[in-house]
Structures are given as structure tokens and as C-alpha cells.
A and B are shown apart, each in its own frame.
Chain A
């Protein structure tokens, strides 16, 4: 009986290993760096936050807006990168939930990307009440508005339709907002503070990579994925 169980376990591990190897063999990564040319407009101090006693006590300095998160070498963060036109391949239902937190009367992160069918959990880590107001614009993604007090249960959202920059906001504290992009495939990511992005395990083929920034619009680039990784760099410009 014990031996039987050990054999089963070994077979299962072998299957997982073979599946993973197959995945690696079948796909390559699309990688790149996103940079910003030009000087973005200065961010604004969120002074109303410091005028609110509940929120002010969670900050020592006045927070600012984060529309343009730019590194020392002009690396641009918070750009949603995806494969344009690739739909119907969502694995969202089997993915772990994405998390959007309300912390210090600010949404963290401010830019997030998920798949259709994937759970999005909205937490309230603050000792004050927020209302979580999701304002999608694509038909099929319902608008919702719910209060979430301190220590209240997490709220869970799932969207069935792909949508770029679906807005979450708090009307109690109108400076609080986040943008969630919903993709109908697992081939997407958001650029980090170093401007880098990686779209993993893309099957061989020709694709159009789309990079979208909330303020700077979208750019596209055609690539062909064969055996190895493919590089697609983007440069956005502030006019």
C-alpha cells in the first residue's frame, strides 16, 4: 500500500515535470524595456488627503499623484503590455486572485492587469470607510459600488469582457483611484519601475505587441516568436 502510494506520487511529479518542460519548449518570452522621451508634467501633491484627519495620520509627508512613474534613465513603469487580438485564451479561472489594496487612503497598486474570469480581491487595510466604485465602460462588465468599512471582508470582482483601464475609485476620498486592465489571454504584463516587461510562454507565431499607458496612449510593434526570446522595446514621448 505504501509502495503503491509512492509510485503514484512519483508518476504525478514526473507528469508535472514533463508538462512544465513541454510548456517551456513550446513557448518563448517577449521581453523589452519601455522608456519615456521628454519631460512629463509635474505630479501634484494630494493635499485633500492631508486635510482628512483619518487619512492624514497614515502619512508623514503629502503623497503625490503617480501618473508618470519614470526611472533615472527614463524607464517608464505602469505600462500594460499585451498581445493585440489574442482573445478567447483566458486561463483566469485557474489563476490565483489578483489583489488591490486600499492603504493609507490610496489604492495599491494604481495600475493592475488581470484576465477575464480571474478573481480580483479588493482589501481595505485602512482604519476608515471606503466605497469601492468600479466604473467599467465595456458592456458585459457591470458597474458596482459597495461600501467597505475598516476590517470589513474583502470584496471580490470578476470580469468577463476584456477592457483597458477599468477604473476603480473611492468617492468618499475622490483622490483614490486605480486602473485595472482585463485581458482575454494570459499573455500580458505591466512594466515595472525599471521599465522592463516580460510576457511569458508565448507560443510560436506572429503577434502585434501593444503597450498602453494611461496618459500616453498606445503603441504597437509586430514580432515573430520562434525558438528564443523576442525583444520589443517601446519609447513613449511627452509632447
Chain B
């Protein structure tokens, strides 16, 4: 990424990118409803719908599971169209070359995602649903990132002058940036959330309902019995309205992993919130969003970390509550889908935080290189004085 490329903000482009991200979130929501209602295969053909052109399928036939699956397909088509427009718009109007390629990446990803969704139907492969769900999360992050990068706020960051070095610093090290102590933690937490979403997708696309039907205990214990006899007993006691597959020991262990990772994410986001409180406070590293001489409190965007961290923590707390509610309601479709949506939002917040925090690093490195090229090299001066003098 060329950090200091100056680009003029385009509010229309920005709002269109925001709209695309919101449409993607809605698409993930309807996709969640499709899986929660076990309706993924209710339309046996693709890209047609019961032999009709997808866009001409009569509305009076949108019944039962068809309603969810067909709505998902139509919204997916809309998101595909919006992403195509966004990619073309970025290519034509954004002055940053890396944004052109980001638009192209979004276009390719949405096409791949559409084909994957279709193949999941035509090839009767449940496992493709896991990839479909995972790529959906990545695509949502990408659309959110494009919205962020086209925002006026981001453009302001890019237009700020290079970071100044400490005049008195002997080693000429740049001043540590505001997000520096949190970057590693935020990145790790974001990666963990992504892993958690993959685990969740694997759980949902086993089509076996709840492998553990109680919470906070698991089959009445802190760690459930997964012996063959115990699993047979759980299956005998499960009476479900839908045609769920029998549960297996692996599925029980997968849900336990999901619970443990959830706890780890909760602790990590709480740590982020705690550490973010100190950013910009007296005696700590200044919140450098640009010029280091400005007081931390007055630097535009300085409180972003505190706000982000609290919002992130709130999302994770809600998410844990929704996870518990998913079990207590025996995987009610609306609750389970809300759980999917908040998970997507939590991943996007972490990813955008990483983008903001690491942008500072990338920018700082670029600034330093630029400055190094401007300043004469002391070693070179000592070694070749005559040459320098002759010039």
C-alpha cells in the first residue's frame, strides 16, 4: 500500500460502498436463516429456480423453505451487481491503484461465492456450505474495508504529513504510535474470531442440530462424556421436529471448542478495552494519528481506539448472550441467525481496527524511508567527503 498517495474523497462512492457492505450483511442474515431453517436444498436447481428464470419465479410459489432460499439468491444477485458497480467505480474514479485491485478482488470474490453457493446445491455437498459461509465473512470484511478506505476520515489520515522524528533522540527512532501496544492483541483477537466463525460454520453445516443442548454445563457436566454409549444415549433422548443427522462425539467436541474459543475472545476483547483506556493519557505514548507535536486529546481520531474497543467488547458480550440463547431456545432460527450476524460484525470491527492500526505502521515505515532518502547518509559522508564536496 502506498501510504501517502493523496486521493480526493468521493462521498457518493463512499456511501455506495457503505450500502454494499450493508447489503452484504443482510445477505449473510438471510443466508443464516436459510441454514437455520434447513432450507438450503429447498430449491433443487441452480441458477434456475424450479425451472424458472430466477428473476421470474412467481411470488405465489415462495413458500416454506423456498422463501428463504430464493430470497437469498435474489439478494445475492443484487450484492453481485452492486459489487460489480463498485469495482468499476473504484477502477475509474479512485486515484489509488491499490484500491483498483481491491475492487477487482471484491468482484472476483463475489463471483466465486455465487458459484460456490450454486455448486453446494447442484453437487449436494454439505461441506461446501462451510466454505460458502466462511467466504461470506471474508467478503463482508472486504466490503467494510472498501467503505473505510473510501471514507473522508481515511483520506484525512492519508493526507497527514509524515511523522516527525524526536529531535533529541539519539537513535532517531520514530515516536511509538498510539495503536502500537494494541496492534498485536487486536490482530490476534481478530484471527481468533475468524477461526471461531469457521468452527461455527462447521457446526451449522453438519445439519445435526445442537450437539450439546444445555448451557453453561454440557450434557450435565463441565466436560461432556463422549463415549459411544453416551453419544447413543444423547441421540436416543433427542426428539427433533426436523430431519437432523444424529450427533457424533466430534460434533460435541467441536461445540466445546466453540465455547472455549468464545471465552478466550471475551477475555481478549476485555483486555483490548482495558488497554485502550490508557491510550493518549498522560505518561503514555501519545496518540499519533499524524503530527506528534499535537496533544493526544486534540488529534483527530485519537479516541477511535477507546470507542472501537468498547463497541467491540459490547458486541462480544451480546454475542456470548446470543450463543447461550441459541442453546436455551433449542436453536431458534431468529436467535441463531442473530448470532451469525453479530459474529460477522465482530469480525469486521476487528479487521477494520487492524486496518487502521497497521496503516499507522505502514505509513510510518513509508515516512521513514521517504525521510531517509531526503537526509544525507552520515556514513556515506564520512567515507566519501571529496565526492560530496565536488557536487
A binding-site residues for B, Cβ under 8 Å: 41-44, 46-48, 52, 54, 65, 67, 128-129, 131, 133, 135, 143-147, 167, 169, 171-177, 215-217, 238-239
Contacts and interface: CB of A to CB of B under 8 A. Distances in A.
Interface of B: 37-45, 50, 61, 63-66, 69, 124, 232-233, 235-243
Contact of B235 (A48, A144, A147, A215): A215
Given A44-B240, A129-B66, A177-B243, 19 more contacts: A41-B236, A44-B239, A67-B239, A129-B50, A129-B63, A133-B41, A145-B124, A171-B41, A172-B64, A172-B65, A173-B65, A174-B39, A174-B64, A174-B65, A174-B241, A175-B242, A176-B243, A215-B236, A215-B238
Contacts of B65: 171-174
B107 to A, nearest CB: 30
Contact of A171 (B42, B233, B240): B42
Contacts of A128: 63
A129 B237 CA distance: 32
A167 B63 contact: no
A131 B38 CA distance: 13
A217 B232 contact: yes
B254 to A, nearest CB: 19
A67 B239 CA distance: 7
A131 B239 contact: no
A52 B233 CA distance: 33
Nearest to A67: B239
A173 B64 contact: yes
A143 B124 contact: yes
Given A145-B41, A174-B37, A174-B242, A239 B63 contact: no
9 contacts: A44-B239, A131-B42, A133-B44, A147-B45, A171-B42, A172-B65, A215-B235, A216-B236, A239-B233
B243 A42 contact: no
Given A65-B241, A131-B44, A147-B50, A174 B61 contact: no
B80 to A, nearest CB: 24
B338 to A, nearest CB: 19
A239 B236 contact: yes
A238 to B, nearest CB: 6
Contacts of B45: 147
Contact of B63 (A143, A172, A238): A172
Contacts of B69: 171
B50 A52 contact: no
Output the residue of B45, B66, B241 with the most chain A CB within 10 A: B241
Contacts of B240: 44, 65
B241 A48 contact: yes
